[in-house]
Amino acid sequence: MTVYLDNAATANPKAPGVAAAMARSVGELNANPGHGGHHLAMDAALAVFEARATLAALLGVGDPRRLVFTAGATAALNQAITGSLPGAGHVICTTWEHNAVLRPLSAWRARTGGEVTVLAPAGARQLGAEDVVAALRPDTRLVVFTAASNVTGVLTPVLEVGEELRRRGIRFLVDGAQVAGHLPVLLDDAPIDLWACPGHKGLLGPQGVGLLYVAPGVEMEPLLLGGSGVRSEEETPPGELPERFEAGTLNTPGILGLGAAAAFLADQGLGALRAREVERHAQLVEGLRGIKGLELFTADDPTRGVGVVALRVAGWPSGAVAEILDQRFGVCVRGGLHCAPLAHAALGTAPDGAARLSLGPFTTRQEVEAGVEALRWVAVRTPERAAREG
């Protein structure tokens, strides 16, 4: 039996319709969209256009060309960070950032001598817009905020931060990896300049495709240079979106799969899916709170999180918890640092990390119960006793 509680890593299952759309791409529509004028290439281009339009409608983007397809959130964040920072200066981010943010920033710092301020919460108080305002400097070029921690699932105040930054004309990049598809986000209305997210988590699409939203007026250098199917006679990349940031052949199967997922989400309504996630999150936390020896890291109120709970079991390394849940109970969770080392440092769970349970819109009541029961078994044993019991 498999009980999949690792949706923050990638959604499982994917939305209905994803596999069929991908099969159609490699079957009926097998041509290069935007890189050819024959009828099959045009049909593929039209299908990509439709997928982009469906995603734009879901994410509140009036002009679909502002949604750039990337290879994932990591590719989108690299483009946004490196493309926004041609020289030295100052950047603000938070302790909750994923390595997809921290590593490009670290490379930029090493390359240019730029400086990064990493904001960390003080005690139990969450980071607020006032912390960002207090850290601003005359040379601050960019602020990067994850919209929700991938370790705890706790939402951050990105809209409040964005309001402050917009008033001051400072570029704001949001890592929406854990929020896209979980919460209704209307990007054109939000004070956000750049928004990155993968297609394979809350948007319920396939791996290998993601999105970068580029707000009007935001200029940056493209990271990937190559064929764009337009203005081939020029040495430099085209200026227009989305081609400026989409060099090379697109991941058409991934894009069509993601388009089908977006259509499913729009049809179901993000609000309805969210209500189910909040209910399961509450069930999970209630079940886990009843187990002695567990320390939980999650939103106090499920409406302030995205269905993620990290935990430590007294006496157990997090990897051993994940391993025994998998091997003995078929429960898939993730141990370790979740590519977010500073988050674990802030929580006091470094260097071992935590076991993370993360829900999706298809997670059932029974699956949550199975996860809780498996942890109840672990919590009353030492790793040695569990090993003896096989």
Q: Which stretch binds ligand PLP (CB under 6 A): 46-54, 173-181, 223-231, 375-383?
A: 173-181
- Interface mask toward ligand PLP for 78-107; x: CB under 6 A: --------------------x-x-------
Q: Which stretch binds ligand PLP (CB under 6 A): 110-118, 162-170, 172-180, 360-368?
A: 172-180
Query: Which residues does 145 contact at the CB level (< 8 Å), separation at least 6?
Result: 93, 94, 132, 156, 158, 161, 172, 173, 174, 175
Closest distance between ligand PLP and the C-beta of residue 268, in Å? 22
Binding of ligand PLP by 25 (CB under 6 A): no
Binding of ligand PLP by 177 (CB under 6 A): yes
Report cis status (omega within 30 of 0) of the bond before 198: no
- What amino acid positions are annotated as catalytic residues? 339
- Binder of ligand PLP out of 33, 34, 72, 361 (CB under 6 A): 72
Instruction: Select 106 or 364, whichever has its Cβ closest to ligand PLP.
Output: 106
Binding of ligand PLP by 7 (CB under 6 A): no
Instruction: Quote the Cα angle for 150-276-290, to 5°.
Output: 70
Cα dihedral across residues 95, 97, 99, 101: positive or negative: negative
Phi, psi of 184 (to 5 degrees): -65, 120
Binding of ligand PLP by 182 (CB under 6 A): no
Rounded to whole angstroms, how far apart are CA atoms 104 and 77?
8
Closest distance between ligand PLP and the C-beta of residue 368, in Å? 21
Binding of ligand PLP by 334 (CB under 6 A): no
Q: Are 117 and 123 in contact (CB under 8 A)?
A: no
Closest distance between ligand PLP and the C-beta of residue 72, in Å? 3
Rounded to whole angstroms, how far apart are CA atoms 120 and 349?
15
Q: Closest Cα to residue 97, out of 150, 135, 171?
A: 150
| Number of neighbouring beta carbons within 10 Å of residue 365 | 10
Q: Which stretch binds ligand PLP (CB under 6 A): 68-76, 211-219, 255-263, 370-378?
A: 68-76
Binding of ligand PLP by 14 (CB under 6 A): no
Q: Which residue has the tokens 């890189």?
A: 35
- Binder of ligand PLP out of 6, 131, 164, 175 (CB under 6 A): 175
How many chain residues touch ligand PLP (CB under 6 A)? 11
